[in-house]
Chain A
């Protein structure tokens, strides 16, 4: 299966078009999964910036000050 754990680094774009690196320790590597999963609580536990957080109502990610919006599905 090749399931391993490590430090994850996702490069995503914020609302201003800038590239932001999301670092998350103790993330899982599962090659058979069809998509990546982002755990808000896991990232919020590890961030060092006091203003970082997730606003679930508007589904915005405030990660080191830039705001990242994401489409929201309620299924």
Chain B
């Protein structure tokens, strides 16, 4: 968008001059005329250019210069590197300059009879384009912090361990320390600790009295936090 807008300004000037040259009646061929759709080309280019300039101006001003708007939240949540403020200010000034130049060029072309008087309609359209385009922005551009929300303190090493491992470690620690005030997923109040694992392959119990019938089991692969429990058991066996 930025590059296209930067290229559109000189294209607008060139197209206006070409049409101005073609519109001049030639002494050799006075009946020469331009096809009507081509006459409206600079107007269309100007309108589109004004839309782009105003859109970028509003975007930069409201989403990059004011830190209290959700832009700062977005950059913080997604950890994307934000552009530096001098760079943004430079872009803003550049677009303002291009916008003023485009409007001055249109006014000058109209004043010198190089462009029809209908070109005056471009300027108010450019001025109000930002107010029209801004509400039409898609809501998806406003991203909110959704993922990567960690409830653990930042000083804890959390990179190599997955969430189900943390739950397994915490549950195992809680079961080994009866005096702890941590009640993690106490599914049966007053009863035993049962953890609801939505990713578990099947229910697992460590008490044989909970079973009505028994049958021999083959080797099976378990999903869910059982992976973490397996790791913890191996750690306990190694420590003993």
Which residues from chain A sit less than 8 Å from chain B, CB to CB? Answer: 3-13, 23-24, 26-43, 54, 56, 59, 68, 70-75
- Cβ of B112 within 8 Å of any chain A Cβ, yes or no, is no
Contact A8 B210 (CB under 8 A): yes
Interface residues of B (CB under 8 A from A): 151-152, 163, 166-167, 170-172, 175-176, 183-198, 200-208, 210-217, 220, 222, 224-226, 229, 232-233
B196 touches A40 (CB 8 A): yes
Our pick among A13, A72, A74 for the contact of B188 (Cβ within 8 Å) is A13
> What residues of A have a CB within 8 angstroms of the CB of B213 in the complex?
6-7
CB-defined contacts of A26 to chain B, threshold 8 Å:
202
**Cβ of B220 and Cβ of A28 under 8 Å apart?**
yes
Minimum Cβ distance to chain A for residue B192 (Å): 6
Query: Which residue from chain B places its CB closest to the CB of A40 in the assembled complex?
Result: B198
- Given A36-B195, A75-B163, A75-B166, A10-B210 contact (CB < 8 Å): yes
By the criterion CB–CB under 8 Å, are B207 and A36 in contact?
Answer: yes
Chain A's closest residue to B191 (CB) is A12
Given that A4-B217, A75-B167 are contacting pairs, would A36 and B193 also be in contact in the complex, using a CB cutoff of 8 Å?
Answer: yes
Write the nearest CB–CB distance from B133 to chain A, whole angstroms. Answer: 38
B192's closest neighbor in chain A, by CB?
A36
15 CB < 8 A contacts A-B: A4-B214, A6-B215, A8-B212, A10-B205, A12-B188, A26-B202, A27-B211, A29-B206, A29-B208, A35-B206, A36-B195, A36-B210, A37-B197, A56-B198, A71-B184
